[in-house]
Amino acid sequence: MTLPKLQTPTYELILPSTGEKIKFRPFLVKEYKILLTTLDSENEEINRVVTELVDACTFNKLKIDTLANFDIEYIFLNIRAKSIGEITNLLLNCNNCDNQISFDLNLTKAEVEKTPEHTAKINLTDKIIIEMRYPRFDEMIDIYQNFKSDRIVELLSTCIKAVYTEDMVYDDYTKEELLEFVNSFSKDQFEMIENFFLTMPKLVQHIEQNCDKCGAHNEIKLEGLQNFFV
């Protein structure tokens, strides 16, 4: 006799980058087991599992390989909240003493924070403009790991979507041509690209909690999925 099929609940959320309403479901038991085995893995494996779980739990309706990293983070956190529980306990370091503060974090309060002056179009000169795209989840992990390394120029360059002059649009070029172009930037011009990444939308949650040892009032900003991956 065939066992009955269980109905999985579905939920909705707004995709931060586009404002589009999408549907998602919680993890299945087999998916949660995969997630648990990934917690201590290398970043590459975490990226693969998170991306595949988000794709499966959104019913394969999204172009998952093109989503911005903060979209993936926001979707994943909402799936996690509906699958495992909206409240998770964190231990936070007091800013005033060596005590660790216990805090019950409500995952549904996390949001994608946008900087008002942030823009994807950067005026390098009066005649040359570059248009940036948001990095994918895997690319952002690579950028986090290599922000102070020699690879950072190459990594940030891959997110240049197009180059505009007064009479031309350049959106078809080789990796070598792009690197040669970026390596010709002045320090101030390259800092404009860095600022794009520093001010782009981020998954954040603001926490306020008094230390139970010294009484100090702590204001803490959690940022990025790595702080919620618990």
Q: Are residues 218 and 206 in the same domain?
A: yes
Is the predicted pLDDT of residue 217 greater than 60, yes or no? yes
pLDDT band at 230 (very low <50, low <70, confident <90, very high): very low
pLDDT band at 210 (very low <50, low <70, confident <90, very high): very high
Q: Are residues 19 and 86 in the same domain?
A: yes
Q: Are residues 102 and 208 in the same domain?
A: yes
- Number of domains comprising the chain: 2
Q: Are residues 130 and 168 in the same domain?
A: yes
pLDDT in tens, 92-109: 899 999 999 999 999 989
Q: Are residues 105 and 206 in the same domain?
A: yes
Q: Are residues 207 and 107 in the same domain?
A: yes
* Residue 217 placed within a domain: yes
Q: Are residues 215 and 181 in the same domain?
A: no
pLDDT in tens, 148-200: 777 888 888 999 999 999 999 999 999 999 999 999 999 999 999 999 999 99
Instruction: Give the start-end residues of each E strand in 128-171.
Output: 129-132, 160-164, 169-170
Q: Are residues 137 and 72 in the same domain?
A: no
* Residue 38 placed within a domain: yes
Whether 80 contacts 227, CB under 8 Å: no
* Residue 133 placed within a domain: yes
* Residue 116 placed within a domain: no
* Residue 4 placed within a domain: no
Per the structure, the complete domain to which residue 91 belongs is given by: 11-111+202-227
Beta-carbon contacts of residue 201 (< 8 Å; ≥ 6 apart): 16, 17, 68, 70, 112, 113, 114, 115, 118, 134
- pLDDT for res 101: 92
Q: Are residues 171 and 211 in the same domain?
A: no
Q: 19-23, 63-67, 156-160, 220-224: which range is least confident on average?
A: 220-224
Burial of 67 (0-12, 13-18, 19+ CB in 10 A): buried
- pLDDT for res 164: 97
Q: Are residues 30 and 97 in the same domain?
A: yes
pLDDT band at 37 (very low <50, low <70, confident <90, very high): confident
Q: Are residues 82 and 131 in the same domain?
A: no
Higher pLDDT residue, 47 or 147?
47
- pLDDT for res 83: 92
pLDDT in tens, 123-146: 999 999 999 999 998 888 888 877
* Residue 3 placed within a domain: no
Q: How far apart are the first and last CA of the chain?
A: 39
The residue type found at 192 is M
- pLDDT for res 224: 77
* Residue 166 placed within a domain: yes
- pLDDT for res 142: 83
